[in-house]
Structure 1
């Protein structure tokens, strides 16, 4: 059986309550007192997207992963008028997760993929974030101009491509079953050309499980995203990682972020990898997280936490 389909390690489940009352499903893996890592997944994904990182890191880290609202086991927001889908809500949810899982002053390394990275940028100025964030990995993400820079639609850059991209990503139609055709489409749009079939299968099953309402609600937020100010508020050490074949958040975003961040520790570009880097290149993503925990949490802090 593929590792992508095997069960995750045993976890402790809890519910964090966000500022608007929305319940956020959280899973905690690994030993208490170990260095803490918080994983924030992207649009149309879930905790399962981080499976390879959880399996590896939970041996010697306390891994905290949560389902973004409307994804996985976190219900869609009850707020009306679209207010339940916003970058403010993303930041509120992350603050709630940090408060529910970390002690006062306890720090963690935060890793955000795609919309999860945008969540980190949205929360950068929040007191809860500043209290708990030791370092950050921004993985396959961007702060703004998402539809303008995306290359999913094979046209020259310009207004037409941007409008078509917004229409494709914001489509209300159901994704339908996971089959050969849908996997081919998903691979083209989100993964590198050399992605192994079992990794495409794993991503397809996760993405197709996302409820249509949440997929559409968040697509509208992403289409108008502007988190440039939040990016500049990220004053902790930040590593940036992207695949060179990423069509959704191309490397142009990561290069600009690396220049704009107050404390960028480095930019890693993974040759031939697409947007789904935690699944496509799990060892590389996990290695970046481990390097951040070793450098910015360290053995001394780990020993104190376990004392």
Structure 2
């Protein structure tokens, strides 16, 4: 059964009302909640959210882009209003199936979109590298706060010097089925430490806490096991569409080394943006900066009536140094 989020943020973090909602049916019969925002005929952008999040995560990005873009959102299986999968329904193959179905069933014939994946959403795009739906429907891709392998080994959530102990503790925390419980001052502080930069304000923290705490613990643990064993390095090398990478310099879950490794492996890397002081939730922490990167990809590679504005092959924002 689908669910509506138990708590909704206010102001710019409140999910905008969709122009329309629909159910997308994936290859194994799983039903995915999807939403359309913005005017018909505008350049298309497809947004895939990350682990423990939902379409609500994209609210500030939608507000930045919906006036002149057609935006497709969907809840990954088990998240938001997409029902949990059955046995065997949690895998990178399932993520790729779901994205392929969304592209096939929400875009018009011949329409291409800039496809953006945050965290597990970026892993979804990598997993779908060989899918014809992505090759044919993606004008360009943005991989945001994500990595292709060794996520637990490279994580910096637990401040322990010994790598073996740090990895063991991080894996236990990541894959825990313990309930998160209600949002409290302590849980907000912990979530901010793990997922955001030090300058994230109370409204940003509250919005993210509401979304993350709404994810069912069984779903959270099931996807954590997939993420913990992730190895999509080979798939990155097959992601042949123009692909940009974005990362926060204070990201503890997917540190900068992931972004730089992706840039090295991608066949057509068209830019790396490092957002100084931002954590893992960059699209919520600085929606203007992230939407600016998306706009640049649309202007350069998207369907905008033949007008294609030139943008640099590599962009840096907020004082980040060249890698």
- TM interval, shorter chain, is over 0.9
Residue ranges of structure 1 left out of the alignment (5+ in a row)? 303-307
1:99 equivalent in alignment to 2:107: no
**Deviation, structure 1 residue 157:** 5.6
Deviations 1:145-164 (A, max 9, x none): 00000000101262221111
Residue in 2 that maps onto 1:55: 63
TM-score (norm 1): 0.95
**Deviation, structure 1 residue 54:** 0.8
**Deviation, structure 1 residue 220:** 0.3
Give the conservation status (yes or no) of the 8 Å contact 2:298–2:304. Answer: no
Residue in 2 that maps onto 1:305: none
Deviations 1:278-298 (A, max 9, x none): 101111110011100110014
Write the mapping of 1:157-306 to structure 2, written as runs, cut at 5 A: 158-301=163-306
Give the conservation status (yes or no) of the 8 Å contact 2:18–2:35. Answer: no
Where 2:300 maps in the other structure, the secondary structure is: helix
C-alpha separation between the residues in 2 aligned to 1:187 and 1:220? 23
1:148 equivalent in alignment to 2:156: no
Deviations 1:229-249 (A, max 9, x none): 111111111111100000000
Where 2:78 maps in the other structure, the secondary structure is: coil
1:286 and 1:157, CA in 2 relative to 1: closer, same or farther beyond 3 A?
Answer: farther
C-alpha separation between the residues in 2 aligned to 1:206 and 1:96? 24
Write the mapping of 1:61-80 to structure 2, written as runs, cut at 5 A: 61-78=69-86, 80=87
Where 1:194 maps in the other structure, the secondary structure is: coil
Residue in 1 that maps onto 2:36: 28
C-alpha separation between the residues in 1 aligned to 2:30 and 2:218? 16
Find the partner of 2:114 among 103, 109, 116.
109
Give the conservation status (yes or no) of the 8 Å contact 1:4–1:199. Answer: no
Residue in 1 that maps onto 2:316: none
C-alpha separation between the residues in 2 aligned to 1:3 and 1:16? 29
Give the conservation status (yes or no) of the 8 Å contact 2:244–2:271. Answer: yes
RMSD: 1.5
Give the conservation status (yes or no) of the 8 Å contact 2:13–2:59. Answer: no
Structure with the largest fraction of helix: 1
Deviations 1:167-193 (A, max 9, x none): 011111000110100000000000001
Residue in 2 that maps onto 1:88: 93
1:138 equivalent in alignment to 2:143: yes
**Deviation, structure 1 residue 104:** 2.8
Give the conservation status (yes or no) of the 8 Å contact 1:143–1:253. Answer: yes
Where 1:124 maps in the other structure, the secondary structure is: coil
Give the conservation status (yes or no) of the 8 Å contact 2:12–2:63. Answer: no
1:159 and 1:241, CA in 2 relative to 1: closer, same or farther beyond 3 A?
Answer: same
TM-score (norm 2): 0.90
Give the conservation status (yes or no) of the 8 Å contact 1:28–1:62. Answer: yes
C-alpha separation between the residues in 1 aligned to 2:271 and 2:13? 32
